[in-house]
Amino acid sequence: MTRSPTCNAYNHSDAHGGTDLTGEPRRTTAGDADDLTHALRAGDPGAIDALYELLGRQAFGLAYRILEDGQAAEDVVQEAFLTIWRRSATLDPAKGKVSSLLMTIVHRRSIDAIRARKGLVALAPGMEPEPRNDAPTDPADIVDLSMRGDQVRQALGVLPPEQREVIDLAYFKGLTHVEISESTGTPLGTVKSRMRLALQRLKTSLSETQQ
Amino acid sequence: MNCHEVDELSGAYALGAVTEDEARAVADHLVGCSAHPELVDLQSTVLALAYSAPDIDPPPELRARISEAIRSEPREFAPAPREIIPPPRRLFGGWSLPRLAGLGFAAALVLLVVGLAANMQFSGGSGTSSQVVQLQDPSGSVNGTITVYTEEDLAVLEASGLQPLDEGKTYQMWALSDDAPVGIAVFEPSPDGTISTSIEADLSGVDLIAVTVEPAGGSAMPTTDPVLTGEL
């Protein structure tokens, strides 16, 4: 466990998602989380506890990355888990993985909060990418969750800075391509092209690392 | 929006970084076009970005707080099918359900319902988690639906063929039940006459949705006859 140089109040987990009491790396998989769907549908509160054990650090890390406010991040994460619980009776494994759903809710709520804080209008409902089971490369599959973070960060790291910037501004700052164009002085067409190209390259990188 | 424009916007769309009009235009295009498999790939890739943030240990008390909260938080289940036996009765402005029922039915549903991401993850099991109501239009020029997600206090209006309004006018949507009509949204269609908008409102117990033309900003009570209606 290391103290983050950029975050004084919270501990960043190590690259393997923390350690258990034996000191062994705590490795979690998306499958672990998604196996909880049936227990969630059955209304087992312990399934939420287990889901938190598996994804709590990732969820809080994502919310904090966007909000840069510990209390606000806590609120978002709590609401995301409560949302999963409230809807748990109607969770449909065929329509999405609970791990992807949780992280999508955390992202969406965080972006809503930060846009509200900045006085920006909320993004239109439905614009959040939908987790897809039929996607050829579903990142919620296969890979170890902690390794997934490493892979994605590595893939982002090799993108040209301009492409990494538009991803950061869109995904973590919640800006639209128009807002990015205005704030960076970059032509709109260029912003759109960078977004598309960046995601194409990310997809290729992630596909290669999973093979 | 044509295929080229959709492709051009695919990255921004996948990232959720488009304007509301663009999101609607892409969604409309995808209803009748399957030539954009890349978009699914890009959306899937965006999901991976959630894991690029460094993991951070939350405060220990958060786990306990969530655990405690869920134990007092009721779970939502698909609602039982609603019994629809609307008795004839008068509504505001001389409207009545029989009169409104006599309005011409709009043509078939043409637009895609764009829901919140979370909406798409849940099903009602028996398909009762949402109710799609086709809107009735006396002029016959409007095609539209309103999809009501009762459990989420959400409704999604999708329509095309709406007439442009004079300056200073707006469309206003009302929820009608035994009580006085309640204004739940004002909206203006795109220049091409389409509208796709979400409305946060608890519509449980509501019998009728109606749309009137009102002064800009909306009215406290309806001042004109409805141009669209839909019975829930």
Query: Token digits for A67?
Result: 């909000």
Q: Is the Cβ pair B117, A78 closer than 8 Å?
A: no
| Residue with token string 């409104």 | B100
pLDDT of residue A146: 52
Option in A104, A135, A198 nearest B117 (CB): A104
pTM of the model: 0.58
pLDDT in tens, B173-192: 888 887 788 888 888 887 88
Q: Is the Cβ pair B46, A199 closer than 8 Å?
A: yes
How close A91 gets to chain B, by Cα (Å)? 5
Chain A contact probe: residue of B70, B73, B76 with most A CBs at under 10 A = B70
Option in B16, B50, B78 nearest A127 (CB): B16
Higher model confidence: residue B108 or residue A194?
Answer: A194
- Sheet harboring B143-149: ordered strands across? B131-134, B143-149, B154-160, B195-200
User: pLDDT over 90 for what percent of chain B?
Assistant: 14
Mean pLDDT on A71-100: 86
User: Closest by alpha carbon to A77, among A38, A48, A34?
Assistant: A48
How close A107 gets to chain B, by Cα (Å)? 7
Q: Is the Cβ pair B75, A43 closer than 8 Å?
A: yes
3-state SS of A12-51? ECCCCCCECCCCCECCCEHHHHHCCHHHHHCCCHHHHHHH
pLDDT of residue B101: 35
Instruction: Tell me whether strands B169-176 and B154-160 are parallel, antiparallel or unpaired.
Output: unpaired
Option in B27, B121, B156 nearest A96 (CB): B121
> Residue B74 contacts by C-beta under 8 Å, 6 or more apart in sequence?
A86
Higher model confidence: residue B142 or residue B120?
Answer: B142
- Distances from the Cα of B141 to the Cα of A118, A195, B28, B186, angstroms: 40, 39, 19, 20
User: Closest by alpha carbon to B116, among A112, A62, A30?
Assistant: A112
What is the distance between the alpha carbons of residues A180 and A167, in angstroms, rounded to a whole number?
10
Query: Token digits for A5?
Result: 């140089």
Q: Is the Cβ pair A10, B9 closer than 8 Å?
A: no
pLDDT in tens, B85-94: 332 233 333 3
Does the structure show a pLDDT above 60 at A86?
yes
| Helical spans, DSSP H, in chain B | 3-14, 20-31, 37-49, 60-71, 97-101
Does the structure show a pLDDT above 60 at B113?
no
ipTM: 0.80
Q: Is the Cβ pair A153, B52 closer than 8 Å?
A: yes
pLDDT in tens, A20-55: 333 333 444 445 566 788 888 888 889 999 999 989
Residues of A in contact with B71 (CB under 8 A): 45
3-state SS of A87-136? CHHHECHHHCCHHHHHHHHHHHHHHHHHHHHCCCCCCCCCCCCCCCCCCC
Higher model confidence: residue A79 or residue B92?
Answer: A79
